[in-house]
Amino acid sequence: MVDLLVMTGESAIPLLDLKAQYATIRDEIGAAIDRVLESQRFILGPEVENLEREIAAYCRCAYGIGVSSGTDALLVALMAIDLKPGDEVITTPYSFFATAGEIARLGAKPVFVDIDRQTYNIDPAEIEAKISTRTRAIIPVHLFGQMADMPAIRGIASRRNLYLIEDAAQAIGAELNGERAGSIGHLSCLSFFPSKNLGGYGDGGMVTTNDKDLADRVRVLRSHGFRKKYDNELLGGNFRLDELQAAVLRVKLKYLDNWTEGRRRNAALYRESLAEAAFVELPFETPNSRHIYNQFVIRSSRRDELMAQLKDRGIGCEVYYPIALHLQTCFKDLAYRPGDFPVSEAAAKQSLALPIYPELTPEMIRTVVQTISDCFD
């Protein structure tokens, strides 16, 4: 994850400015935190229960189970389908580490499929060829806030009898053909890491599902695998979301759609202002989709120069992600090599995220655009 200092630091225009957001909700947040402190109830109380209901409704899904992070959401979702050593899970090599990391943590094998060049999301056309007798699940990631090709992926999962788990960590509120991220998979994973569109004041996450039995398993696994204290029916862990985070997130959820609209407005402004810029490629928007722009990622063959220039002028920007997952040192036993996933590897060399947060002003966007133009003059 990003160093938070990069996001809120001394840049003239930071990549993300959480202080600007906090200034608009300070009183409500204070009241919510006080409410929890007065109750002295910190673990699995009314705040978590209410947040679970509210997030499930927001995602148009039946159940929500609050967990300790997006990473733990992935872990507990995979535990809920009883993923075992030797099992295989198909996913993308172009994502935050946790997507593949949690598969491997359970002793299972991440099997990568390259991405679509335009959307940066897993390419469904290449999934079927990677399915083996050991494949248990597919984990598409809705990268940067835009949904993967779920109609195609859902078709494959259902035809081949595989679990479909959405990594919706960057995509709360994203839509495709009227369906919401987090409502399609057997299980879906959300993150409330501070830099996500709905970010807490610490770590947090949620698993959503329409399946009553899976919801029940996740709920039991989240607290050591016991339904009744101290009667452990499953081998679980401590994957709980706490009341303070839930109280903060409930305040912020009310503003989420406004903030998302702000991000979309900023994206439209970038698009307009960069339309003539032949040297950068703008993010693609899938037709019939609602991109929530957790990141606004442009692409350039001179990315490193551009990044240096932006940083030099005090404009925050970051590379998501500089090393594709199949080339990570910790996965060297999987024996992938450079060149195995050329589309992901090219994206790792060319992509650059620009500031897109809702409080960004049109003037700030003009400054970013001008700095980009200067770089190529």
Ligand X SMILES: *Cc1c(COP(=O)(O)O)cnc(C)c1O
The CA R_g of the chain, rounded to the nearest whole Å, is 20
* Binding pattern for the stretch 101-120 against ligand X, x by CB under 6 A and - elsewhere: --------------------
Exposed/middle/buried for 6, CB within 10 Å: 0-12, 13-18, 19+? middle
Taking each helix axis as running N to C, give the angle between helix 46-58 and helix 18-39, from 0 to 180 degrees, rounded to the nearest 10: 140
How close are the terminal C-alpha atoms of the chain, in Å? 33
Q: Kindly state whether residue 4 participates in binding ligand X, applying the rule CB under 6 A.
A: no
List 96, 239, 331, 357, residue binding ligand X (CB under 6 A): 96
**281 DSSP 8-state letter:** B
> Is there binding between residue 245 and ligand X (CB under 6 A)?
no
- Rounded Cα distance between 206 and 220, Å, is 14
* Contact residue for ligand X among 169, 292, 324, 356 (CB under 6 A): 169
Q: Which of 70, 140, 200, 283 binds ligand X (CB under 6 A)?
A: 70
Least Å from the CB of residue 260 to ligand X: 16
DSSP state letters, 190-223: EE--TTSSS--SS--EEEEES-HHHHHHHHHHHB
Counting contacts by CB under 6 A, is residue 173 touching ligand X? no
User: Which of residues 170, 183, 208, 289 is near ligand X by CB under 6 A?
Assistant: 170
E-strand stretches of 210-312: 226-228, 231-232, 289-290, 296-299
Q: Which stretch binds ligand X (CB under 6 A): 65-73, 78-86, 123-131, 326-334?
A: 65-73
Reduced to 3 states (helix: H, G, I; strand: E, B; else coil), residue 236 is coil
DSSP character at residue 126 = G
Nearer to ligand X, 170 or 350 (CB): 170
- Is 54 exposed, middle or buried (CB count within 10 Å of its CB: 0-12, 13-18, 19+)? middle
Q: Which of residues 71, 92, 135, 344 is near ligand X by CB under 6 A?
A: 71
Between 63 and 144, CB nearer to ligand X: 144
Q: Number of residues interacting with ligand X: please give it, by CB under 6 A.
A: 16
Q: Which residue's CB is nearer to ligand X, number 200 or number 375?
A: 200
Residue 296, interface with ligand X (CB under 6 A)?
A: no
Q: Which residues bind ligand X (CB under 6 A)?
A: 1, 69-71, 95-96, 98-99, 141, 167, 169-170, 191, 193, 203, 205
